[in-house]
Amino acid sequence: KSKCFALHPWICFLIILILVFFGYESMSPRSLLVGRLGASETVLILTPWLAPIVWEGTFNIDILNEQFRLRNTTIGLTVFAIKKYVVFLKLFLETAEQHFMVGHRVNYYVFTDRPADVPQVPLGAGRRLEVLTVRNYTRWQDVSMHRMEMISRFSEQRFQHEVDYLVCADVDMKFRDHVGVEILSELFGTLHPGFYSSNREAFTYERRPQSQAFIPQGEGDFYYMGAFFGGSVMEVYHLTKSCHEAMVVDQGNGIEAVWHDESHLNKYLLYHKPTKVLSPEYMWDQQLLGWPSVMKKLRYVAVPKNHEAIRN
């Protein structure tokens, strides 16, 4: 009797593996291991490699806060405010102070070509802002792609000595609700809000074999957003260094991936599985997508804007 009882956890684990294997091969991502705490909708809460997907109701923030406080954790938040995009920085920082890693030590790393335009935003205890001056580029695509180079360089030279985790975010966004230590893991990516319920055939991966970001048809787990990713400093270093090196090779071959650094991010996360995946609660555009009932919270959201006016 005791031996049978001891086997039960292993039997459950094997059942999960079987469901993942067969479901992953024959079903859409949405139909895999699904569930939802306290809601009628079903969503994916576990990846095929058994990494958690973070939705409201899938974590206990009080327990997690205590765990990370006991570790004396410091979180770095990188953001690029280049050229006219510096206008978004004040709202980004103000809302981060309200909702991002509240109660924990945070270093804001602002990369900008306009250090004099960085706003003075009151910061809470244990939180500081560092302005890192970088050059600008004529095209916004180049600004976007060169951030991988900058993050990898500073991770190696500086960040690894100052913080435990790095969160890399876009500046033309605002924090609207709690974003805390539940997102932290060795390596995390965020499901793209436009593809979180789609089959892999719909993903806009780079499909040209000439590019280092190439992902063949029939391959792929999820489509990740380039606007919100992170992990431990060294894992982020490896990710950004790999993406930067791949983009340098592409540039030498006269090709640019279809979605620039995001395409290379997706290629990296396909072959280096994230240990945690964030739901679209952590990356949403209400102006374009509304507020579907499956989204119990909108945590990090796009700011309505005229992209062309800003880029020009």
- Indicate whether 10 belongs to any domain: no
- Indicate whether 108 belongs to any domain: yes
- Indicate whether 243 belongs to any domain: yes
Q: Is 80 annotated as a binding residue?
A: yes
Q: Is 201 annotated as a binding residue?
A: no
- Indicate whether 25 belongs to any domain: no
Which pLDDT score is estimated for 135?
81
The pTM for the full model equals 0.86
Packed helices 140-154 and 233-252: angle between N→C axes, nearest 10 degrees: 140
Which pLDDT score is estimated for 146?
84
d(CA 292, CA 43): 13
- Indicate whether 31 belongs to any domain: no
- Indicate whether 149 belongs to any domain: yes
- Indicate whether 242 belongs to any domain: yes
Which pLDDT score is estimated for 25?
38
Residue 130's domain is classified under what CATH number?
A: 3.90.550.10
Of the candidates 79, 82, 80, 153, the one whose C-alpha atom is nearest the C-alpha of residue 113 is 82
Tens of pLDDT, residue by residue, the chain (312 residues): 344 434 455 655 555 554 444 443 333 444 445 554 444 568 899 999 999 999 999 999 999 999 999 999 999 999 999 999 999 999 999 999 999 999 999 999 999 999 999 999 999 999 999 999 998 776 666 666 689 999 999 999 999 999 999 999 999 999 999 999 999 999 999 999 999 989 999 999 999 999 999 999 999 999 999 999 999 999 999 999 999 999 999 999 999 999 999 999 999 999 999 999 999 999 999 999 999 999 999 999 999 876 555 555
Which pLDDT score is estimated for 312?
52
Total number of domains in the chain: 1
Which pLDDT score is estimated for 185?
98
Residues involved in catalysis: 262
Q: Is 172 annotated as a binding residue?
A: yes
Q: Give the full edge-to-edge strand order of the sheet including 276-278.
A: 53-54, 276-278, 187-190, 228-232, 165-169, 74-81, 105-112, 127-133
Range of the domain at 142: 57-187+201-269+303-311
- Indicate whether 14 belongs to any domain: no
Q: Is 82 annotated as a binding residue?
A: yes
Q: Is 285 annotated as a binding residue?
A: yes
Q: Is 171 annotated as a binding residue?
A: yes
Q: Is 262 annotated as a binding residue?
A: yes
Counting Cβ atoms within 10 Å, is residue 137 exposed (0-12), middle (13-18) or buried (19+)? middle
Which pLDDT score is estimated for 1?
37
- Reading the block at residue 37, the tokens are 């705490």
Q: Are 121 and 129 in contact (CB under 8 A)?
A: yes
Q: Is 25 annotated as a binding residue?
A: no
